[in-house]
Amino acid sequence: MSQQGYVAAPPYSQSQPGIGGFSAGFGPPNSSLHYGHYGDPNSSYSAPQPGVLKSTVPFGSSAPAGPPPPGTHQFSQTNFQNGPSIPGQQPHRFQGPPPPSNTGPSYPPCSHQSQPAYPNTASTSPTAQLANQLNSMQINSYGPGTTPSSRMSSGHPASFQGPQPPPPAQQQMVLPPGSQVPPPANNVNGLCAQPSLPPMARQDGIPGPAPPNPNLQQLSGQPPGPGYHPQQASYGPQMAGSQLSYPGAFPGGLAQLPGPQQKKLDPDSIPSPIQVIENDKASRGGQIYATNTRGQVPPLVTTDCVIQDQGHASPRYIRCTTYCFPSSSDMAKQARIPLAAVIQPFAIVPPNETPLYVVNHGETGPIRCNRCKAYMCPFMQFIEGGRRYQCGFCNCINDVPPFFFQHLDHIGRRVDHYERPELSLGSYEYVATLDYCRNNKPPKPPAYIFMIDVSYRSINSGLVKLICDELKTLLDKLPREEQEESSAIQVGFVTYNKVLHFFNVKSSLAQPQMMVVSDVGEVFVPLLDGFLVNFQESRSVVINLLDQIPEMFADTNEGETIFAPVIQAGMEALKAAECAGKLFIFHSSLPTAEAPGKLRNRDDKKLLNTDKEKTLFQPQVNSYEALARDCVANGCCVNLFLFPNQYVDVASMGLVTMYTGGTLYKYSNFQLDADSPQFLSDLRKDIEKKTGFDAIMRVRTSTGFRATDFFGAIYMNNTTDVEMAAVDCDKAVTVEFKHDDKLNEDIGALIQCAVLYTSISGQRRLRIHNIGLNCSSQLADVYKTCETDALINFFAKSAFKAILSQPLKAVREILVNQTAHMLACYRKNCASPSAVSQLILPDAMKVLPVYMNCLLKSCVLVGRPEIPTDERAHHRQLVMSMGVADTQLFFYPQLLPIHSLDLKSDAVPAAVRCSEERLSEGGAFLLANGLSMFLWLGVSTPPELIQGIFNVPSFAHISTEATSLPVLDNPFSKKVKSILEHIQSRKPYTMKLIIVKQREQPEMLFRQFLVEDKSIYGGASYVDFLCCVHKEICQLLS
């Protein structure tokens, strides 16, 4: 263990590339924090280091009750470097490749486990399963709010003791260990036990031979560890196992493990996300939350309340990872809590809250600080009788313009304070002047261009006709300002296969006219007048065109399509019309036709879990990045609706969508009957969304810290301007801050986000959001005001950005390490003294481990051959632009027991934890994560419930083909339908309903969403991960 303690972070004063602003450079070997490099020939199966004894306790015997010999734990080797071992050399938060093989893994290596696609779980009942899972840990039964402690990693058994209550002044979660039991031998190497594996599948960190898979027999040049026999796999076809660098990465069946019998752990004794959500609802739900205090922690995203803006932006617009920043960069490095804000500038405000006021200063425009250019806001201090004001951000003293002058009252506040939104509210808008417009000309209203793939597959599947029929009604619902009768948005139409077809739909024409552009290498727009029109004026011509398109291409045999030239054409059309806008592209296959942006199928499962896996998330040709840059420069946002039957390279095709602030919708194996409702609902929602066009965002801060990193569906030309061709109500930008000086505790940390954009009516506006946070030199204050949901949003986005440049294994390890560091720092500096064997979690972060484990198990970070590459790229892209409420539900789905509905009340039944333990054979459960929705039915679901929902007599009669519930005239059906609609109404994507019957094949898909359990794709259960983190913390503290 190095002597510098466990603080390891790069200097906060400079922003570096890589994840979360930290360098993606290659940390030197001895500064690398690594967790067992599974599958890396250099360090996977390390030979025992000279002078370090490896334990040779055979399976089944108990470990000695006294301390094992030194070196029994791989943890006690000095290869787990935490501080820099060379002065001035800082390890990075996200690093390059693992160090060479002379440093053994600090988690025991995992042999590559073979496993069938669907593990054989029939051998044990669910109740036996948990007992088995927990039997091999030294755990006893605890009172509420407690958890198993894993073995101490310092090389001797943990000293066990009873619960120790925290001091009254400090809210924290204490998770004490059980009574003193000789630990099972299989824990010898210091990995938290993998209880739910059969003996053959247990890895136990023993560097013995791998299972008998010829490809994975023994990694080169590494002798097997002494004293352990090879373990034969006893079931299923052979398959390379997952290579996750944290426990539970070994899928498999379940079996009883050797070692002393212990009492079963009650899963309710470890921190529950559901309990945290319900407690917050109980204490803050339905109340008014006034934003009148700097640094106050808002209700959780899952709590419904009414927000009153009284000087700080509503948490609907801005949420922070902590509402109290550490006052110095040294403190920030010590805690390793990311300082970030998740900003959703156009978030929807419910009808019972006040919409934003618009301030119009006429020709003079918004009032701004002369030095830092911050906009007038509640943080400006008026002095000298109101003639001057001091900027709250840079302290510069400015003159008040004569038209804005007002006297001060007896407390130094302007007498018109409450009459001016920019002085009394956290969020408001300014009307911008011509200085804020392109070429100093007022903008035109935006345009929507619909671009439809008319290749053989799209026509044949009925998709083209479906789109054209829908547009006839949808064009009447284009967004408009409240006071306007009709929308100012213009519309245009293009169809394409290997060539482009533009349509002239000028209102004076009797019939639409088609113009073909066959030179797709140099795309030009063949007409200006008549391409973009007002729908109300050209209604008859447009309807005529939409009737004709499906017939026009009905006999097509053209199977190949282009893609990049389609975007190019749309952008050129907007550029020629001198307006911003959105392209709605409906596309179905890999663009293989000869043209710029042509793609090949490069989906290669052999790259999984190698250093080249990252290339699967990068675009395969450079032209898409250049195209994205041009689109952003011209205010052209690209919305992509994909209907693939096979691989379409989402990483390349979705790039322009991501950079331009657009949305990517994907309907794999689209079937007209089953999938139309989902697609049409998405299309309707998207067209009707309130959106800002041609937007640019700048985040300003008070002195002492600054914004260094930005994550989202954005493009950045420089280090400060966040450019978005469009930004809608669901898009959020996550901003990380770093110190460049000490912060003043009296002034706090002030943040102003300004978004310059064009409204749907073509008015140039500035939307301003201000928030003030506290600062403290006490770490306890920082931990007390953390928000776990915002932290997970930050960690997900920073990790999903990092996988473009680093091996996934390194990214996963850094996430585990970061979690342990944050919790160890709390334990060391804020918690009352207690035995090292106790796991102590800060109250505000007690569910951080469960969420972090969900992130680690997400398909983006787990490379498995069964998970389509496009699915991973799609999820990665969606998460990058999500707000806090959406990432919260995505990583920890909502599971509702609908069999316990109370028909007399309007209340939705309380959610239960996402674990198989919570399901019951006699129950029906609804699970939703924002993208997917499942209705799971137990084999003994009461017939009356089945009759009420499905109108069929029994479980056997339920069809799992249906993607919606029948409309029935009974209270139960109506109530279930209203719950489905309620969940759906809050989410940006329409969730297709999948009906799952217990013990039928599709249940495997549903099981992946039970995130507290061990994943079939490799991934620890919540209990295992908590032990793993605890072990890390013990290691950091020892």
What is the distance between the alpha carbons of residues 198 and 490, in angstroms, rounded to a whole number?
64
Residue among 911, 884, 914, 895 nearest 789 (CA): 884
Residue listed under structure tokens 């400079």: 14
pLDDT at 27 over 50: no
**Each residue's pLDDT tens digit, 399-424:** 999 999 999 999 999 999 999 999 99
Provide the pLDDT for residue 268: 77
Query: What's the mean pLDDT when you consider all of the chain?
Result: 80
**Each residue's pLDDT tens digit, 947-984:** 999 999 999 999 999 899 999 999 899 999 999 999 99
Provide the pLDDT for residue 175: 66
The answer to whether 933 touches 926, Cβ cutoff 8 Å, is: yes
Mean pLDDT, residues 541-546: 97
Residue among 873, 883, 871, 869 nearest 932 (CA): 871
List of residues 6+ apart from 38 with CB closer than 8 A: 44, 109, 110, 112, 243, 244, 245, 249, 809
What count of Cα atoms within 13 Å lies in the side-chain half-sphere of residue 1026? Answer: 32
Mean pLDDT, residues 72-85: 36
Q: What is the chain's percent helix, strand, coil content, to nearest 5? A: 30, 15, 55
46 is written with which tokens? 């390390």
% of residues, the chain, pLDDT over 70: 74
Residue among 480, 468, 476 nearest 536 (CA): 476
What is the distance between the alpha carbons of residues 832 and 827, in angstroms, rounded to a whole number?
8
pLDDT at 223 over 80: no
Provide the pLDDT for residue 267: 72
436 is written with which tokens? 């804020």
Provide the pLDDT for residue 171: 56
What is the distance between the alpha carbons of residues 537 and 614, in angstroms, rounded to a whole number?
50
1016 burial type by CB count under 10 A (0-12 exposed, 13-18 middle, 19+ buried): buried
| Number of other residues whose CB lies within 10 A of the CB of residue 516 | 11
Region for 560 from its dihedrals, namely left if φ exceeds 0, alpha if ψ lies in -120 to 50, beta otherwise: beta
Provide the pLDDT for residue 265: 56
Provide the pLDDT for residue 425: 97
**Each residue's pLDDT tens digit, 893-943:** 999 999 988 888 878 889 999 999 999 999 999 999 999 999 999 999 999
Provide the pLDDT for residue 156: 38
pLDDT at 728 over 90: yes
Provide the pLDDT for residue 155: 35
985 burial type by CB count under 10 A (0-12 exposed, 13-18 middle, 19+ buried): exposed
pLDDT at 457 over 50: yes
pLDDT at 234 over 70: no
Q: Is 262 helix (H, G, I), strand (E, B) or coil?
A: coil
Provide the pLDDT for residue 657: 97
pLDDT at 204 over 60: no
Provide the pLDDT for residue 314: 98
Specify the length of the chain in residues: 1038
Provide the pLDDT for residue 416: 96
**Confidence label for 467 from pLDDT (cuts 50, 70 and 90):** very high
Task: Tell whether the torsion through CA atoms of 351, 352, 353 and 355 is positive or negative.
Answer: positive
The answer to whether 298 touches 777, Cβ cutoff 8 Å, is: no
Provide the pLDDT for residue 195: 36
Poorest-pLDDT segment among 311-320, 613-622, 834-843: 834-843
320 vs 7, more confident: 320
pLDDT at 168 over 70: no
**Confidence label for 986 from pLDDT (cuts 50, 70 and 90):** confident
Region for 484 from its dihedrals, namely left if φ exceeds 0, alpha if ψ lies in -120 to 50, beta otherwise: beta
pTM for the whole structure: 0.79
Poorest-pLDDT segment among 8-17, 340-349, 613-622: 8-17
For residue 513, list its beta bridge partners: 504
**Confidence label for 335 from pLDDT (cuts 50, 70 and 90):** very high
**Each residue's pLDDT tens digit, 804-851:** 999 999 999 999 999 999 999 999 999 988 888 889 999 999 999 999
* Strand ranges (E), 158-267: 172-175
Provide the pLDDT for residue 227: 36
